[in-house]
Amino acid sequence: MRIDIWSDVVCPFCWIGKRHLEAALETFRARHPEIGVEVVWRAYELDPSAPRVVGDEPTETSAQMLSRKYGMSLADAEAGQEQMAARFTELGLDFDWRSARICSTFDAHRLAALAAEHGRADAVDEALRRAHFTEGRAISDPVVLHRIGVGAGLPAAEVDRVLRGDAYADLVHRDVETARGLGARGVPFFVFDDRLAVSGAQPVEVFDRALEQAVAAEV
């Protein structure tokens, strides 16, 4: 079975959805040890106009961005971020929304594409999310991305080649267009074996049912 996941690494619901899917997969594999599951990460940019931030350049906080984008008060946006942080805590994750820096994720997706070729997609994905949500790093900064890539076991020379050029840019654009073609209007967006779609950070039970439905459809 293959699961394609469209996600953006600055999307809080995407990390929540990932953890819910992982929990469902754990019990699914226990029930069906004979079924292999391949997870394929696909790129999606929530805000293609977000700036490429380098070093200590000032950025919006996540609450400031939400206030501007949705026309809500800053106090309401901050309250929403506190609620999101609480959901993270329930899953063993840490969301320091006061330090999270809003920036472009395009180069992060290109790095993730390189990681997939080396079988390190999940390691890089987790490191990118921790850098944004927990460590307050600008994941558009080549220095930050280089550290993440090498720290996840990618060859330093290949990481530098990607970050200095435009490798995998076409792949990122294709992933986004494919998601739109499938009807995705946001992320996370999961497709099971090219036939069953699940949108959003659904509860574990929803993913559990989707996995069983995907298996039944193959019979």
Q: Give the HSE-up count for residue 52: Cα atoms under 13 Å, Cβ half-sphere.
A: 8
Tens digit of pLDDT at every position of the chain (219 positions):
999 999 999 999 999 999 999 999 999 999 999 999 999 999 999 999 999 999 988 899 899 999 999 999 999 999 999 999 999 999 999 999 999 999 999 999 999 999 999 999 999 999 999 999 999 999 999 999 999 999 999 999 999 999 999 999 999 999 999 999 999 988 999 999 999 999 999 999 999 999 999 998 875
Classify 108 as helix, strand or coil. Answer: helix
Phi-psi region of 55 (alpha: psi -120 to 50; beta: other; left: phi over 0): left
CA distance 101 to 137: 7
> Of 97, 102, 99, which is closest to residue 141 (Cα–Cα)?
102
Tokens linked to 152: 């996840």
Pairing verdict, β 2-7 and 38-43: parallel
